[in-house]
Structure formats: structure tokens, C-alpha cells
């Protein structure tokens, strides 16, 4: 299906030349969502937002928008508002995620060289509980025939993957952490989140479907996502807007699991009492609550976090909820939250400046919002964590990212170990073999 002639970021309010025609219809259970993604797709053609078997997957491009810079969120919102307003939508399902839906992924930094990606897939398949549906979108004169939705041939595992250090070797990055601690103790910032990257290169193109299926199988409590070649499994829900209810899950404070239930229970107790981790977590929760407060009539911010158990790590977690008080969309709320203290630091401007100084790399869309939104503005946006970007020009190459919150009590060697733990999900997905 062709890309619709839609408003560009430089003129986001312009009316589309060829409005989209969108139709959603019920579907009999076709099998696991991620197994439905067709073979032969480029990574940039795959979209996913799946948790515990529910959510959305899609493929093809009916319309897309790319933008960058400080106004990227506003330009993206204006583009989608215009597309949605002009679209002809026939929704026979009426569930969150049916009808006209856009998927997006945004760079972390205002000055990133990487573009924000928004895409309306040509085909989207959704599942919520026991209900399934398929949505088609096309520009004007496209065919209205519904696609055959069925499991595709299984993807091949990546072949002969080699890993190499990214912008900084672990020892160098530990030095950056030490410098961050020095700046914190000097009073420059309260907290800063430093990230490192790792380059994986395979002998043949990496199939995004393989990575997604491996992540979903191992980390089913996370949101397994893909937009524009960025694939991952994030445990952190930046914001959900669903018929007036606003939710955000804040994660900050991490410890690696041992695999021994008794030991892990003791580690979880230690994490819940750790002054360093509780301090880091408090900064993150406060930043989210302060950003959401202007948009909510009431809010619930728990006084103490709980310990979220994932397959390889445990996090301190807090679910912040509120009742929407205005018409700001889920993307607008995500923009107001970004960058939270969980991925940037506190105070925000000073922490982001320190990140640019110490990391030595462009994060791209790592740690930026990723998710989906419907034409009413409801949707879900996570933070792009535990992820990698499959290179558009060389799909054999995948750049992996992981970050750690640095506070006054941080120990550089411990932060290197924590970042290694956070790289495990993507490393394992790339080196797993077919069973």
C-alpha cells in the first residue's frame, strides 16, 4: 500500500491530499500476535506493542511522519490530528486499539540526529482478552479487501553474532560514572542517568520478528515493542490514557537476580530498604507526579514503592494514577513527562546537559517515548528501554543500549554490573538458538 500524501512536519496543520480509509473488523483467534508478522519484512516495516499475549502488531506503511528537534512532539501530534480528522474510519470493533491507530518512537534528546518515527500500518492485528480484530488502512483508492491473517513461517535465529564496545569501553564508562558522582557531590545535580551502548553484528540480516518473539517469551510482563527498526521489551509504562484515567509506572532502583528464589527474596528486601535506591526512586516518582499534576483533577501517588520482579532483575516500582482534567492526548502527556528523572535525572536541564557531556554518544530513540495512540488521543507510551536499533542501511548490525541512575551513593563498578544486567535481554535474544 502506498504512503498517503499527508501533512509534513514543516506544515503539520495542512489537510492530507489523500485521506486514509480505515476499517476494523472482528477476527477469529488466529494464533499468537507476534507469530502473525509476515516473513520478509524489513525491521522498519514491523510494529509491535504486546504484553502477555495482548496488544497490537502491524506491518506495512499506509502513512508515516518523520520529524526531529525540540518541537518533535508537537509536530507529531499536529500531523496525527490532521490525519485522524480527515480519515474515513469504519470501526466494527470499538475497543482500545481498534480504528485509526498510529505507532510512534521519539529521540531522547532535542538535538539528536535521529528522527522521530510515526507510522500508520497498512495492516494491524489486535487482541484484548478473548477478542481479536484486524484493521486495514490505505490511501484513497487502495483495495479494501481484508488480508488473510495467519501464522507466518518461523523466523531464523541471527547467525554468528559478535559484540563490540560502543562509544565507551566499560572502564571508560565507569570513569564517566565516577565523574557524575563527583558532580553530584559538588551539588551540580541530584541524580543523572548515564547510558552505554554495545554493537552487535551478525553474519546475516537480523529478523526483527525473531528478536520480538524471544523477548516476549522470556519477559512476558514487559511491553514488547517495535517501531521504525527499534525493538525491545520495556518494563516501564511512561503513560497510559484510557477514557479519562491516566496511569504511569515508574521504575528506578535495580538489583540483579540470582535465580535462587530464597536469595532473590532477600535481595528484594534489601532493595526495598536501600537508601541509595530509594533516593533514586523518589526523584523519579516526584518528576512524574509533578509533570502529570497540571493535567489531572486528582492523583494517587503511593508513599512507598513495591518490588517488581522480572526474569533477570528486580526494580523498585510505583504506579502513579490520576483522572484527566483536560483534552491533552496520551502523546501530549508523554511529552510533558519526557525526560523523567528515571531516564534523565534531576534537575532535568542540568542532568540532560551532563548526559551530553559524559556519555559520548547520541542516544537516538533509546530512552525516548515509544507506543501507540488512537484518534481520540487515548493510547499507551512506554520508555524505550532494554532495546536495540536494527540499522536501516545494514540490518546485520544492532546497537544495544542500557542505562543506570547515578546518585551520590553510586559505585562505578556496581553500575557497570547493573548496565550489563540490563543488556542481557537483548544479548540473549540475539544469541538464542531455535529449539
pLDDT one-digit tens code per residue, 353-363: 999 999 999 99
Catalytic one of 191, 359, 380, 415: 191
Please give the Cα distance from 185 to 192 (Å, whole number).
Answer: 12
Instruction: Return the minimum-mean-pLDDT range out of 3-17, 58-72, 97-111, 303-317.
Output: 3-17
Assess whether 422 carries a catalytic annotation: no
Please give the Cα distance from 222 to 214 (Å, whole number).
Answer: 12
Backbone angles phi, psi at 39, to 5 degrees: -75, 160
Q: Does residue 320 register a pLDDT over 60?
A: yes
Instruction: Return the minimum-mean-pLDDT range out of 9-13, 239-243, 259-263.
Output: 9-13
- When pLDDT is averaged across residues 164-184 and rounded to a whole number, the result is 97
- For residue 435, the model assigns a pLDDT of 64
Q: Count the neighbouring beta carbons within 10 Å of the beta carbon of residue 342.
A: 29
- For residue 341, the model assigns a pLDDT of 85
- For residue 17, the model assigns a pLDDT of 60
- For residue 152, the model assigns a pLDDT of 96
Give 423 or 250, the one with higher predicted confidence. Answer: 423
Q: Does residue 3 register a pLDDT over 50?
A: no
Please give the Cα distance from 230 to 391 (Å, whole number).
Answer: 9
Q: Model confidence at 260, in pLDDT bands (50, 70, 90)?
A: confident
Q: What is the DSSP string of 383-399?
A: E--SEEEE-SS-TTEEE
Q: Model confidence at 141, in pLDDT bands (50, 70, 90)?
A: low
Distance of CA 233 to the CA centre of its chain: 7
State the average pLDDT for the chain: 92
Q: Does residue 143 register a pLDDT over 90?
A: no
CATH of domain 20-431: 3.60.120.10
Q: Sketch the domain layout of the chain as residue ranges.
A: 20-431
| Helices and strands counted in the chain (H then E) | 8, 23
Closest CA relative to residue 207, chosen from 140, 144, 161: 161
Give the whole-number percent of the chain exceeding pLDDT 90: 79
Catalytic one of 114, 236, 359, 380: 236
Strands annotated E in 3-62: 20-27, 46-51, 54-59
Q: Does residue 335 register a pLDDT over 90?
A: yes
Assess whether 191 carries a catalytic annotation: yes
Q: Model confidence at 246, in pLDDT bands (50, 70, 90)?
A: very high
Instruction: Return the minimum-mean-pLDDT range out of 8-12, 64-68, 164-168, 191-195.
Output: 8-12
Q: Model confidence at 15, in pLDDT bands (50, 70, 90)?
A: very low
Q: Model confidence at 196, in pLDDT bands (50, 70, 90)?
A: very high
- CB-based contact 320:244 (threshold 8 Å): no
- For residue 18, the model assigns a pLDDT of 84
- For residue 394, the model assigns a pLDDT of 95
Q: Does residue 314 register a pLDDT over 60?
A: yes
* Angle, helix 275-292 to helix 330-337, in steps of 10 degrees: 130
Query: Taking the model in full, what pTM does it have?
Result: 0.90
- CB-based contact 397:388 (threshold 8 Å): no
Q: Does residue 58 register a pLDDT over 50?
A: yes
Q: Does residue 423 register a pLDDT over 80?
A: yes
Q: Does residue 107 register a pLDDT over 50?
A: yes
Q: Model confidence at 140, in pLDDT bands (50, 70, 90)?
A: confident
Instruction: Return the minimum-mean-pLDDT range out of 275-279, 402-406, 426-430.
Output: 275-279
C-alpha cell at 401: 543500549
Q: Count the neighbouring beta carbons within 10 Å of the beta carbon of residue 107.
A: 25
Element (H, E) at 253: strand 245-256
Q: Model confidence at 11, in pLDDT bands (50, 70, 90)?
A: very low
List Cα–Cα distances, 49 to 13, 116, 256, 388, in angstroms: 28, 17, 25, 15
Which residues lie below 8 Å from residue 95, measured CB to CB, with a gap of 6+? Answer: 126, 128, 131, 133
- For residue 10, the model assigns a pLDDT of 36
Instruction: Return the minimum-mean-pLDDT range out of 136-150, 207-221, 233-247.
Output: 136-150
* Partners of 54 in the β-ladder: 51
C-alpha cell at 170: 566499560
Q: How big is the chain by its Cα radius of gyration, in Å?
A: 21
Closest CA relative to residue 231, chosen from 39, 435, 429, 96: 429
C-alpha cell at 352: 540532560
Q: What is the 3-state secondary structure (H, E, C) of 268-310?
A: HHHHHHCHHHHHHHHHHHHHHHHHHHHHEEEEECCCCCEEEEC
- For residue 2, the model assigns a pLDDT of 31
Amino acid at each position: 500500500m502506498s504512503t498517503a500524501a499527508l501533512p509534513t512536519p514543516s506544515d503539520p496543520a495542512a489537510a492530507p491530499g489523500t485521506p486514509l480509509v480505515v476499517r476494523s473488523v472482528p477476527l477469529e483467534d488466529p494464533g499468537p500476535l507476534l507469530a502473525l508478522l509476515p516473513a520478509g519484512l524489513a525491521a522498519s516495516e514491523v510494529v509491535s506493542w504486546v504484553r502477555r499475549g495482548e496488544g497490537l502488531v502491524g506491518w506495512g506503511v499506509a502513512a508515516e511522519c518523520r520529524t526531529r528537534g525540540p518541537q518533535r512532539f508537537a509536530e507529531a501530534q499536529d500531523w496525527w490530528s490532521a490525519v485522524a480528522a480527515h480519515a474515513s474510519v469504519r470501526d466494527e470493533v470499538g475497543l482500545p486499539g481498534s480504528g485509526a491507530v498510529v505507532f510512534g518512537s521519539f529521540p531522547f534528546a532535542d538535538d539528536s540526529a535521529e528522527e522521530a518515527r510515526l507510522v500508520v500500518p497498512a495492516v494491524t492485528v489486535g487482541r484484548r482478552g478473548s477478542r481479536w480484530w484486524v484493521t486495514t488502512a490505505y490511501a484513497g483508492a487502495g483495495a479494501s479487501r481484508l488480508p488473510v491473517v495467519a501464522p507466518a513461517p518461523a523466523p531464523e535465529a541471527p547467525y554468528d553474532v559478535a559484540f563490540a564496545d560502543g562509544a565507551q569501553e566499560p572502564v571508560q564508562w565507569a570513569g564517566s560514572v565516577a565523574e557524575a558522582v563527583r558532580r553530584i557531590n559538588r551539588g551540580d545535580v541530584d541524580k543523572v542517568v548515564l547510558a552505554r551502548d554495545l554493537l552487535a553484528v551478525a553474519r546475516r540480516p537480523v529478523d526483527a520478528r525473531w528478536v520480538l518473539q524471544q523477548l516476549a517469551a522470556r519477559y512476558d510482563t514487559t511491553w514488547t515493542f517495535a517501531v521504525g527498526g527499534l525493538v525491545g521489551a520495556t518494563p516501564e509504562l511512561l503513560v497510559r490514557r484510557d477514557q479519562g484515567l491516566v496511569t504511569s509506572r515508574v521504575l528506578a532502583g535495580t538489583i540483579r537476580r540470582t535465580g535462587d528464589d530464597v536469595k532473590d527474596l532477600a535481595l528484594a528486601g534489601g532493595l526495598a530498604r536501600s537508601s541509595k535506591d530509594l533516593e533514586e526512586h523518589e526523584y523519579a516518582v516526584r518528576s512524574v507526579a509533578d509533570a502529570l499534576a497540571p493535567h489531572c483533577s486528582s492523583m494517587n501517588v503511593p508513599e512507598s514503592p513495591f518490588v517488581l520482579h522480572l526474569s533477570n532483575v528486580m526494580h523498585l516500582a510505583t504506579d502513579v494514577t490520576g483522572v484527566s482534567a483536560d483534552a491533552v492526548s496520551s502523546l501530549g502527556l508523554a511529552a510533558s513527562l519526557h525526560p523523567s528523572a528515571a531516564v534523565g535525572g534531576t534537575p532535568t536541564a542540568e542532568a540532560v546537559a551532563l548526559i551530553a557531556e559524559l556519555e559520548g554518544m547520541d542516544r537516538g530513540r533509546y530512552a525516548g517515548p515509544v507506543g501507540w495512540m488512537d484518534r481520540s488521543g487515548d493510547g499507551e507510551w512506554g520508555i524505550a528501554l532494554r532495546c536495540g536499533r536494527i540499522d536501516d542501511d545494514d540490518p546485520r548490525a544492532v546497537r544495544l543500549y542500557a542505562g543506570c541512575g547515578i546518585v551520590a551513593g553510586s559505585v562505578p563498578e556496581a553500575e557497570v554490573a547493573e548496565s550489563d544486567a540490563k543488556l542481557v535481554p537483548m544479548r540473549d535474544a540475539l544469541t538464542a538458538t531455535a529449539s
